[in-house]
Structures are given as structure tokens and as C-alpha cells.
Structure 1
Amino acid sequence: MGNGKERLVGVNFDLNDLQAFRAVVELGSFRKAADAVNISQPALSRRIEKLEDALGVRLFDRTTRSVTLTTVGRVFAPSAEQLLDDLDVALLGIRDVSSSRLGHVTIACVPSVAYYFLPNVVASYHRRYPRIRVKLLDSSANEVLSTVMSGEADFGVSFLGTQEPEIEFKVLLQERFVAACRRDHPLARKKRVTWNELYEHEYVSVDKTSGNRLLLDQALSAVAPRAPSVCETRHVTTMLGLIEAGLGVAAVPSMAMPGRDHPVLTSVPLVDPVVRRRVGIVRRRGRALTPAAQQFYREVMEMKRSGAGKGESGDGDAS
């Protein structure tokens, strides 16, 4: 490939022009794009003009305050991105292009993973590949599956997907549900709590749109709460805020709990039955990851091997 200036067949522009175009699209600024690709702003403007002249269309509407894609530019942007990604795939086995290119990766994940597991992964990834932007879509488990299926996310981290024929599910860790409560709550003094004991107290639950609710309803078919919950939420992180404020107790995945040094909240293992969920990477079968996403995938797997983050072993059954 030489110096990256090879001309595309029958078209009077080169790969550097496409890279300049992608930088402006991603950063929304000629100045920021020029800094990102390490050229002057006038030089970047010349590359964009060259690309527009070659295509015979205007790709950007420019004012002194903003840069926006034209209608044609919006149509062309995905094709340019795909072309550059395909090139990176071709080069990936020859040299490390991910550390020097300007790219992006989109990961969908359930909120507990986004808050308690992925931050360390994102930080490590950014140190290695500072020019690749990471976008996290923290959504419900069902929405994670949807964004992975549609291609909006490169891959996801969730606890649903094992039953989907078009989804590949690779286990990262297994975690159990625990009783979350304030340190001054009566349950905090116990070594373990049964589900029936939990439901003797006022409790907060997740609503029917939550993947956790589906999992718990299936696992606790023989356990009947004595009264409905005092409040329903969609996300576990919201539940913990309510518990901290004194609104009873809640059953939450162990990974969602803050550290043991938290001044207010603590947790107690739930038994009879022990309910676990498996957290893993969800990918659409047959869809190759871009180089940027492949590198992020590797970071996640390295984090699993190092044992970082909370939760149990991906293959174990610790109690």
C-alpha cells in the first residue's frame, strides 16, 4: 500500500482524502479534524475540496460556526467508512493500524455493566488507542440485543441472548443475586437471606420491561411475595439510590453493588434458591468486527482473564 496515497481506480482522489473526510464527519470541525490527522487546517480543506471535485458534489455545508453534511454527504459517509474499515481489515495481519488511525467503536451494554465493569476496559483501551472514540449505549438487555442485531452497536455486553439463533453469546462471568440494604437495616446483620425473608420487608423491584425481571420471574416461580413492591424502576442503579434513601431492600446482581467500603449500602447473599445470571458478550453471527471493535473485544477478554471487576468466574459456580 506504500505511503497511503494510492489512487482508487477511475477516481481522482486517494485514501488520505477519505481519511480527512471521515475525521471531519466524526469530529464536526475542520480544526479538530486537522489536529486528529496531524496536518494543517488549510491542507485538510484542500483534501476535502479535492474529494468534492473528484465526486462532482458538495459534501459539507460550511459556515463560520458549524460544519454539517449535505444530503449527498450523509449518503456517502457510510460508504467511505466501510471502505476504510475494509482496508484496515486487510492490513490488520500485517501491521498494527488501530493505534494510529482515527476510528470509533460502539458498544451496547446493560447499565450495571456500563457502570461497574466497562469503565476499566474503556480506560485501558483509551491508553492504548487514544485516537479511537468509544461510544457506550447503556440500555436494557432487550435494547442491547436490538442494537447488536441492527448493527448500531459493534457488539454488546449483557445477560440475555443465549436463546437467540442469530446471536453468539460468550460468557464473561457469572454472578448471583444478593439482597441490597442499608447497613442499619435488620437484614444487614445476617450471613444469608432467603427470598421469603426478603419479601417480609418493604422492597423495591424492577418493572416488567427489565431483563432482570424476566430472569427472576422464571427462577422464583415457587416464591410468592406477601405484598407488592413499594416502588418499581427500570434500572438497578436507580433501585440502589432508593435503597440508600431508606426505601426498603432489593434483590440486585452482585456486580451492581458498590464497594465494601460504601458508607451506607451493603449486601447479603440470597438463598433458597440461589439465583445467578451469566454476563457475556453478544455478537451477531457472521458479522466481522471492525479493527477498532476487535481491539476493544480483546480488551474485554483480557479484563475477564485478569479477574478485574466484580462477579464470579465465567465458568465457575461459586456460592
Structure 2
Amino acid sequence: MAARGRTHTVGVGMIKGPERVYRSFFLDSTRWDDYEPRPGDIVVCTPPKAGTTWTQRIVSVLVFGDVGLPGPLGEVSPWLDGTFTPRGEVLRLLGAQRHRRFLKSHLPLDGLPFHSEVSYLVVARDPRDTAMSAHHHARGLNWLADLPPHGPPGTAAQPRVPEDAREFWRAYFTRGAFPWETNGWPYNSPTAHALSWWEWRREPNVCLLHYQELRDDLDGQMRRVAAFLGLAVDERRWPELVRACTFGRMRSERRRLLAGGVSGSALASFEFFHKGRNGQWREVAAEAELALYRAAVEPLPADLRDWLTRSA
């Protein structure tokens, strides 16, 4: 089980240290203990199924100024707190990189060290849509429930999720994977994640993105990210870079983007990007399910709730 009250030394450039330990079948926040930031590092930080890989792809074309990658996206942009890649391997990947580094994390701010010289791209999505996407994703990985635990010592194996979307919805909005969270099972809470960053959204090194705004105006949101990161835009290449970040293009190129290296070919063969559209919850959620969702978002500040729940 994850523990509270973790002690962490605040070093040079660190605004605050992590306040909780998140350890589960897919997440281990203690991996950040060995992180040595470089000025200019970028952390793409989202709850699961809120546009993580999409945002990593956007950052990749902005950092390299090209649609090509020097390797699989999972190696170019490692997931430091994920349990599926050995800890030492991720740290070796990061240490060897000479380009501007951009990492992936699913942690809320209270599980991360927060450095002034690091830029944090935080993506949120309507929790009704993350629930649908999480169900598709977790159901596709149900076979892992039959394998021995691969998470940190003492954590349970990956749970098997129900096939029925309504049954999953009820669990997602009433159960937490950690004692201090009340929704998001079997992953971490999308509402707690958003709240942790909302309180720091005016910091100069934090940029909040919304999944729906990326869908509505990919060009404009990519320009916003480039400006936040201080990256120059080559207008001659710009249309090509934007096209490379559309959902259709990423889906068609998933093997090139994801396969190979330490991540293997599992993600590339799995329907990882799924449909990428919002509003599918309307086909599943009746009034009883929507009441559970409303109870989950009710504790949020009104301005955050209004911003977060702008599903199409």
C-alpha cells in the first residue's frame, strides 16, 4: 500500500518535494527519488487516458522540429513512474539523452518533486471520457491479471476489470486505488490529479491543457505549447508537424511510434489510441451512473469543475 508522510529533501531549484507515495501495479512514485533534473526538462503529466501519448507526440515534433523520432516514443520520452520498464533502464535512458528531455508521468503534483527549472505540461479531460477510455484500455489488458505482480514489492497484481461498461463506470467513480482517493479505480483519480495542479496553475513553469481544446484547435494549442516551452516554430514545416499530431495519423503510424526498444511491441499491436473522441459515455451512462459521476466531481472548486467537464 502507498504510504503518507514521506520525507524528501528539497534541493536546489526544487520548489516543493512530494507529499505522498503512490505505489501500485502500474505506478511507483519513488522512482523520482533518483531523478536529476536538467534545466529545460519537460514533464508531460496526466491522469491515465487523458491524452498522454498525444501530448508526448506534440512535444516530440516541437522539440525536434520534425516528424521523425530517434527511437520509439517510449524511449525518447520515458515513463519514469511506470512499473512496466525496469527502474535502472529508464534512468539509463534519461542519462544518455542529449536532446531536450521530455518525460511522462501519471502522478498528481503531491507525488512529484516540483522543480523551478522544469516545465510541466498538465493535461486534463472530462472524467466521463477518461472512464470510457480507461475501461477500453484496462479491459484490453485483462490478461495481465493472470500474471505474477510486476509492480513494486508488496503491491498486488493488476486487477481484472469488468467487461460491462456500466459496471466499470460504477467502480471507477466510487473506488480509489489509494486510500486518500475516492475515484479512478484501477488507476489513480482524474479529479485528484486535476485539483493538485489547479492550485499551482499560475506558476510560470506550469501549463494546463484540456483534451477537448486539443481536439477543437490542435494548431492553436500546439502553438500555445511551443510558446510555453520557448520553442521556435518553423512556419514552412508547421502544417506537416500539425498533421503528424492528428489522431488519424498517430493511429496509422502507431507501430513506428511505439514499437521496439524496452517497451516492446505490445503497445503498438494493442489498439492503444482507440477512437480518441469524447462523448461516448452518453451511450453507457444512465441517470444512476451520472449521479455517481456528479458526486465524484462535486468536491472540486466550481471553476475547476466547469473547466474540467467540458466534454463535447
TM-score of the aligned structures, taking structure 1 as reference length: 0.24
Q: Relative to total residues, which structure has the larger strand share, 1 or 2?
A: 1
Structure with greater contact order relative to length (CA < 8 Å, sep ≥ 6): 2
TM-score of the aligned structures, taking structure 2 as reference length: 0.24
